[in-house]
Structure 1
Amino acid sequence: MRSFDLNLARVFVLLYETGSVTATADTLHLTQPTVSYSLAKLRRHFGDELFRRTGRGLTPTAGARRLYEPLQRALAEIDGAVRQSDAFDPETMPGRFTLALSDLGEATLLPRLLAAARVRAPRVSFTVRALDVEEAENQLGRGDLDAFVATPVLTSHRTVRIPLFGERYVAMVAADHPRVRGDAVTLEQLAAEHHATVYGPSGHVVPREVLATYGLLDRVAVDATRFSMLPYLLEQTDLIAIVPEFVGEVFTASRRLRLVRLPFETEPIEVALYARHESSRSPSQRWLVRFMADVLGERVSPAQLPPSTGR
């Protein structure tokens, strides 16, 4: 170990988590040739290729996977020992964070996040990008995002998944829908009605999968890309849509809409926060992850949401 530079361990862990020489260099404030030189030294030291280049970046070998946990844990302990002198104070320090949210997240989670930030972190601001579940992990690894919120379970060694709250699906219709009455809808009614569905990069695939399971895709009258258009569409038509319950509660609190139970159980979903591993986060990013998990990690009723007026 006397011949092993501890800085090489940090380069290794970041390469493992980001899969990118560029992102590692940016995080460590090094040049890309310096990171490549460090990788060459790591390969000689361990006698292993460690990473192979693929279309998705650097992919770790079996040897790298064995090394990652002990090296990451050691660095985390070292970082923890010195973190108090390297802290982010949200009350006095400015910070701008880039988040990726679906349109549902923008409508239901972003107001809570901003309301809390105005009180706890008055000098913090946010840039919000449209969530693309296919690209979000790569964007996180490259440093283009600080965090993102998604419902699909994404399993990658490059990110940490932090569950926030659970959801189930319900049906949503106009308050004065001419045929769907009461607090539940039958399978026969679902088959007789026409549907509005959402299919896009935000990852909510369950509604269309449910319709496909029961052979009802031919009853889809409109297939859009954003859930936020549903309240306007359903208010003025007799269409029916399957939506996450919390989102439906937010929509029905301000629009002429009703929620009704489905005649079957759908696969439960879990809204989760995704971020880089703690050892790869800056002090401000560590604060951000704790803040988002605290503010968003509790399912609240629409009555508890902050007003939609801007600040």
Structure 2
Amino acid sequence: MVTTTGSFDLNLARVFVLLYETGSVTVTADTLHVTQPTVSYNLAKLRRHFGDELFRRTGRGLTPTAGARRLYGPLQRALADLDGAIRPQTEEVADPEAMAGRFTLALSDLGEATLLPRLLAAARRRAPRVSFSVRPLDVDDVEHQLRRGELDAFIATPVLTSHRTVRIPLFHERYVAMVAADHPRVRGASLTMPELAAEDHATVFGPSGHVAPRALLAAHGLLDRVVVDATRFSMLPYLLEQTDLIAVVPEYVGEVFTASHRLRLVRLPFETEPIEVALYARHESSRSPSQRWLVQFMTEVLGERVSPAQLPPHHGPLTPEGRPGSID
């Protein structure tokens, strides 16, 4: 790959990075608030400058060449460093109360049931003219949706690795068992392994990527005790209220469900690795000003969540009813 001499316009670097991350002239133009012919014109200048085709058009959009892949890392880092140095001094801070627009998010049904109400309540106070569209989380396609500009951000527990997205940790969770408040056999605040193995289970299997509960049961040889596989976690409260089944759920989710259903939480007989709930978005230098506000807003609001797994010991154990108790 041969580069031409002469000056290199910083705007060309921004166009290149966005084309690389989005794979789309349309999304790049929308993000930069320019026309598509302007982006195409700048792409032609980039090709001449670097003496390389840089991107080839395929069925999934623009695919970078080997030369583009070599260029992306240095240009993306340089652009991020420069933006970080310049933006605090030159970028006008958005007024949330005056901001208007619609953001599109992807959430699992757990996210819709537990995180979306908090997010919307905060938005009604801070940015009342902002609205949201929520799409189901499909872990196999969600990064492509973000890349194509169909999403502004998404929340997921699986660790998705892509140079086109940034993963921003929000909080950690642990797993507990959830049962009916009047379960005929599970009475105490914790289960033994024989007790867990003697009960029948309900699990969830779907596209949201939350596979840990089934994996935990499989690790202890209990998948044969699963009597129902559903597609959405939000159905569990209704199912458990009417049956003697057990479900393994994230603790914060369980707390939300037990607040409005005749359910209680019980400790599992084994330790589980904490899961990390994270926000995914484009790199900061590739976000529009409104998307920068959105990511900061979501991080502040949802990152305030402190999982009971992180609480110090003085908050006490679960009571026999499955609620946090006092050590007094």
TM-score (norm 1): 0.88
Identity across matched positions, percent? 84
Deviating more after overlay: 73-82 vs 178-187: 73-82
Distance in 1 (CA, whole Å) between partners of 2:177 and 2:58 is 42
Aligned partners of 1:166, 1:215: CA distance in 2, in Å? 26
Q: CA deviation at 1:113?
A: 1.0
- Report deviation, 1:297: 0.4
1:158, 1:277 within 8 Å by CA — same for their partners in 2? yes
Query: Residue 308 of structure 1 aligns with which residue?
Result: none
Matched, 1:210 2:216: yes
Q: What's 2:72 paired with?
A: 68
| Bigger shift: residues 36-45 or 95-104 | 36-45
Aligned position for 1:136: 142
1:158 aligns with 2:155: no
Q: For residues 221 and 277 of structure 2, what CA distance do their matches in structure 1 show?
A: 28
Aligned counterpart in structure 2 of residue 195 of structure 1, from 193, 201, 223: 201
1:239 maps to which of 221, 242, 245: 245
Matches within 5 A, 1:225-236: 225-236=231-242
Query: Are 1:275 and 1:289, in contact at CA under 8 Å, matched by a contact in 2?
Result: yes
The DSSP-based 3-state class of the residue aligned with 2:94 is coil
Which secondary structure does the structure 1 equivalent of 2:177 belong to?
Answer: strand
Deviation sequence 1:168-226 (CA, Å, 0-9, x none): 11111111111122111122222221111011111110111122222222221111111
Q: Structure 2: 5+ residue runs without aligned partners? A: 309-328
Shift in Å, 1:54: 6.0
Cross-structure match for 2:264: 258
**What's the offset of the Cα at 1:233?**
0.5
1:27 corresponds to: 31
Measured in 2, the distance between the counterparts of 1:95 and 1:31 equals 20
1:197 and 1:241 in contact (8 A); partners too: yes
Tell me which residue corresponds to 1:309: none
> 2:249 is matched by which residue type in structure 1?
V
Question: Which residue type is aligned with residue 238 of structure 1?
Answer: D
Task: Pick one of 261, 280, 290 that aligns with 1:284.
Answer: 290
User: What whole-Å deviation, never above 9, does each CA across 1:54-99 have from its counterpart, x for those lacking one?
Assistant: 6654444554344224323443455453674544211122122111
Question: Is structure 2 residue 154 aligned with structure 1 residue 148?
Answer: yes
Which ranges in structure 1 are unaligned for 5 or more consecutive residues?
Answer: 303-311
- Letter in structure 2 aligned against 1:16: Y
- Count how many residue pairs are aligned between Structure 1 and Structure 2: 302
1:287 and 1:226, CA in 2 relative to 1: closer, same or farther beyond 3 A?
same
User: In the TM superposition, what is the alpha-carbon distance from 1:141 to its structure 2 partner?
Assistant: 1.3
SS at match of 1:72: helix
Summarize the Cα distance change of 1:54–1:10 in structure 2 as closer, same or farther, 3 Å threshold. Answer: same
* TM-score, length basis structure 2: 0.84
CA distance in 2, matches of 1:195, 1:287: 42
- Match of 2:11? 7
Kindly indicate whether the alpha-carbon contact (under 8 Å) linking 1:206 and 1:267 is maintained by their aligned counterparts in 2.
no
Report the Cα offset of residue 45 of structure 1. Answer: 2.3
Structure 2: distance between partners of 1:181 and 1:245 = 18
1:21: Cα distance to partner? 3.1
Shift of 1:156: 0.6
RMSD: 2.4
Q: Is this contact kept in 1: 2:23–2:63, CA < 8 A?
A: yes
Other-structure match for 1:126: 132
CA contact (8 A) 2:171 2:307 kept: no
| Aligned-partner Cα distance in 2 for 1:25–1:92 | 24
1:183 aligns with 189
Q: Is the 8 A contact 1:87 1:283 kept in 2?
A: no
Q: 277-286 or 230-239, which moves further after superposition?
A: 277-286
Q: Call closer, same or farther: CA 1:121–1:191 in 2, change over 3 Å.
A: same
Instruction: Quote the Cα distance in structure 1 between the aligned partners of 2:69 and 2:41.
Output: 21
> Which is further off, 38-47 or 220-229?
38-47
